[in-house]
Amino acid sequence: MHFLITRHGIAMTGFSCSFARDNIDIMETTFQPYSAKSLSSIVCFLQSSRRKSFCIVGLLTLCLLLSQSVSQAQWPPVLLTPSRALQHLRLPNHRFVPSTRRWNLVWADQIVPGNFTQGKLVFAAEHYVATQKIFASQAAQFRAISPNFLVIAYHLAAGLNPLHNDDCPDPKNNKGAGFIGIIGPKGYVSEYQEYFRPWLALNNITEGDARFEAMFQHYDATDLAHRVWHGDPAWLMNMANVDWKKYLGDVTLDWMNGNSNEGVFFDVAVETNSSLYNPKSGDPAPVNFDWWAPPHGPSGEASQTQDRSAFSNWMNRRYLGCYQEIYKRFHTGVDYLVIPNTDQMVTTVYDPLWTDGDSLGETIDGAMMESFGSYHGQDMWLTLERGVRHITGRGKILIAQFYGVDSTERLRRTAMYMLIKNENSFLNIINDDGVEWYPEYEIDLGDQSPLPHSLDSLRIAGQTWQSVWARDYAHGRVLCNTSDAAMQVAVPTVGKWAQIITHGGGKVLDDGTALPQSVSSLPVTGTITIPASGGVILLRQDTAAFVTNTPELVGATLKINPNPTYGSTYIHITNDTRSVVDVSIIDMLGKEVAHVFSGELDAGEHSFRWDSKELSAGMYVCNLLIQGRTDRVPMILAR
């Protein structure tokens, strides 16, 4: 058997074997390189084949799993595995939210096949894990390369685009008889005309009557002249209204089913007294007043919004009630993801408590924090503190997305992301609004330390919001300073440390080639200065975790006996030092199918008996995580 490790995968040549018990004969065969993400298509063959000669394909899979040497051929350079925090989710077609426990994975904004070359499409499929707002036929192009590629639909969190832009008053960004369309099973169409109006008729609601008008949010009086609107434009809807909540659930479930989606991105899930909504102070007369504030206020409820604090409480109740119902509908039978765009959550008086849910139920599966990290000082602290408290510290999905920044700022914001990321946190850097790749994605510090429920637990210097925060990884440390002044902290005394510096990156070329880029480091000792509102990523060089051509698990061995197995097998681990160990079994789609052990083991030899009777015959992988490193041993389960 010969293995050729290339930038694009593994080639295996000249292999032959036989298994006497099952009379399996495999002739000498040559395989072309495959990327790790193409394994799911191999699995489809394995599952459909009635011949036991699947072993040769399975052994190719084995070779790919053992390889961690294909940096930039796909990302991550190993097979995707499910996030343990979200393994309970039953996404459509057995897809899963991938684990970001070690890797910085990319959840892209809208990337549309047809808008770029085939080379870029392949690159995106092999380097990104998800996108939004595309049709089922476009999603299929990504999934032909990466079967677990996630796609979510799009809807405004609290809004409805009008039939015509000019149906909304001025001021607005788009004018005329046109409309802002949606990506639905019927195509790029007007939601109002193609979905809202038919739904109204189906539910016996007449446009213009009182029941219809009650679906919209109003100030002062419940009529057309007193509707609240967003500047895009869009109508602000009444999130407490039963009909609106039913419509929002009905239409998004229809879109997900029709466009093969795993969830919905609910955009603009922010405070509705922000500058985005009208009327507001500064608008042209006669609407130059804040719609929510005295002497005005929400129609019928003005007494509940006498100041910003009271309005925030009122709005939290609206979001809470609406999204508890959406969440319940999205998690009945098959699970669909509820992912609002909460922006950076930096409004001091408005804390989005609704995202936490309450005793009556959950509201979200995660959130995008758009323009992540663009604020400094106390607002930077608010982004981090609320990000942990409402999203990552609760095990929910985080999509940290930001735009138009240079390499220094990219690294600062990546440090913020890595400070608060959990096992299902994603990054997206946009400068060109197309297919891009940046070295910050490939920063690899090994396994992350447990994330606390409160940012305060990460403070290592300073007090209140003017502090330095630290998060440890198996082979590094992330530091963020949210104060208005530079602060010095000590470099750890154990080990050799260096500060990570990134260079290059940007737009992917038409042939699918990334621009030159690098992740380098400068040695540091003694103390290091963290700039005001800055971030620094440190690498421990004597235990570097970057991808290499010959990965080895230092200080531990993993063996399986018997292998192949026909029922139960023994997993043998030998470790040199007392270590935190996790042992699991994953299938060829990267899904964990059995959890064998998790906990501390003293130095020495340890054995675990695993009974495989509940699983069907095929290829599986025993996955050992120890001290931030991973070892995998493929297994054949025969019947």
Q: What pLDDT sits at residue 210?
A: 98
Where b means 16+ CB within 10 Å and e means fewer, 396-427 reads bbbbbbbeebebeebbbbbbbbbbbbbbbbbb
Q: For residue 50, what are its two tokens? A: 């009635």
More confident residue, 318 or 623: 318
More confident residue, 572 or 11: 572
Percent of the chain with pLDDT strictly greater than 90: 70
pLDDT bracket for residue 171 (50, 70, 90):
very high
Out of 47, 66, 85, a domain closes at: 66
Does 581 fall in a domain?
A: yes
Q: What pLDDT sits at residue 629?
A: 67
pLDDT bracket for residue 523 (50, 70, 90):
very high
Q: Is the pLDDT of residue 114 over 70?
A: yes
Q: Which domain holds residue 614?
A: 556-637
Clarify whether residues 34 and 179 are in a common domain.
no
Q: Is the pLDDT of residue 256 over 70?
A: yes
Q: Is the pLDDT of residue 42 over 50?
A: no
CA gap 607, 611 in Å, rounded: 13
Among the listed ranges 251-255, 279-283, 537-541, 585-589, which one has the minimum average pLDDT value?
A: 585-589
pLDDT bracket for residue 30 (50, 70, 90):
very low
Helix pair 377-390, 407-420: axis angle to 10 deg: 40
pLDDT bracket for residue 626 (50, 70, 90):
confident
**pLDDT (average), residues 200-216:** 98
**pLDDT (average), residues 489-512:** 94
Q: What pLDDT sits at residue 299?
A: 97
Q: What pLDDT sits at residue 249?
A: 98
Out of 26, 43, 66, a domain closes at: 66
Q: Are 349 and 270 in contact (CB under 8 A)?
A: no
Out of 40, 66, 92, a domain closes at: 66
Q: What pLDDT sits at residue 174?
A: 97
Does 469 fall in a domain?
A: no
Q: What pLDDT sits at residue 567?
A: 81
Q: Are 212 and 205 in contact (CB under 8 A)?
A: yes
Q: What pLDDT sits at residue 598?
A: 85
Q: What pLDDT sits at residue 433?
A: 74
More confident residue, 493 or 254: 254
Residues belonging to the chain:
639
Q: Are 489 and 525 in contact (CB under 8 A)?
A: no
Q: Is the pLDDT of residue 111 over 70?
A: yes
Q: Is 486 helix (H, G, I), strand (E, B) or coil?
A: coil
More confident residue, 520 or 1: 520
Q: Is 24 helix (H, G, I), strand (E, B) or coil?
A: strand
- Cα dihedral 90, 93, 99, 104 sign: negative
Average pLDDT, the chain: 86
How is 277-334 classified by DSSP, letter by letter? EES-TTSPTTS-S-TTSTT--BTTTGGG-SSHHHHHHHHHHHHHHHHHHHHHHHEESE
Q: Is the pLDDT of residue 17 over 70?
A: no
Question: What is the number of domains present in the chain?
Answer: 3
Q: What pLDDT sits at residue 35?
A: 44
Among the listed ranges 118-132, 501-515, 547-561, which one has the minimum average pLDDT value?
A: 547-561
Among the listed ranges 266-275, 370-379, 478-487, 569-578, which one has the minimum average pLDDT value?
A: 569-578
Q: What pLDDT sits at residue 113?
A: 94
Does 595 fall in a domain?
A: yes
Q: What pLDDT sits at residue 589?
A: 67
pLDDT tens profile 414-433: 999 999 999 999 999 999 87
CA gap 213, 583 in Å, rounded: 57
Give the global pTM: 0.78
Q: Is the pLDDT of residue 67 over 50?
A: no
Q: What pLDDT sits at residue 398?
A: 98
Q: What pLDDT sits at residue 63?
A: 42
pLDDT bracket for residue 623 (50, 70, 90):
confident
Identify the top-confidence range among 495-504, 570-579, 592-601: 495-504
pLDDT tens profile 353-364: 999 999 999 999
Q: Is the pLDDT of residue 38 over 60?
A: no
Q: What pLDDT sits at residue 228?
A: 98
Q: Is the pLDDT of residue 547 over 50?
A: no
How is 512-537 classified by DSSP, letter by letter? SPPPPEEEEEEEE-SEEEEPTT-EEE
Does 161 fall in a domain?
A: yes
Q: What pLDDT sits at residue 624?
A: 86
Does 238 fall in a domain?
A: yes
Does 102 fall in a domain?
A: no
CA gap 258, 274 in Å, rounded: 34
Q: For residue 490, what are its two tokens? A: 């000590």
Quickly count: other Cβ atoms within 10 Å of residue 251's Cβ: 21
**pLDDT (average), residues 437-457:** 94
Q: Is 259 helix (H, G, I), strand (E, B) or coil?
A: helix
Long-range contacts of 108-117 (CB under 8 A, 24+ apart): 108/132, 108/428, 109/401, 109/428, 109/430, 110/134, 110/154, 111/434, 111/435, 112/138, 113/138, 113/141, 113/142, 114/138, 115/434, 116/434, 116/435, 116/510, 117/510, 117/511, 117/512
CA gap 286, 269 in Å, rounded: 27
pLDDT bracket for residue 36 (50, 70, 90):
very low
Q: What pLDDT sits at residue 39?
A: 44
- φ and ψ of 257, to 5 deg: -65, -40
CA gap 263, 246 in Å, rounded: 17
Q: What pLDDT sits at residue 455?
A: 97
Clarify whether residues 182 and 314 are in a common domain.
yes
Q: Are 556 and 576 in contact (CB under 8 A)?
A: yes
Q: Is the pLDDT of residue 393 over 80?
A: yes
Q: Is the pLDDT of residue 14 over 50?
A: no
Reported as type and span, the H/E element at residue 255 is helix 242-259
Does 624 fall in a domain?
A: yes
Q: Are strands 159-160 and 234-236 parallel, antiparallel or unpaired?
A: antiparallel
pLDDT bracket for residue 619 (50, 70, 90):
confident
Does 535 fall in a domain?
A: no
pLDDT bracket for residue 390 (50, 70, 90):
very high
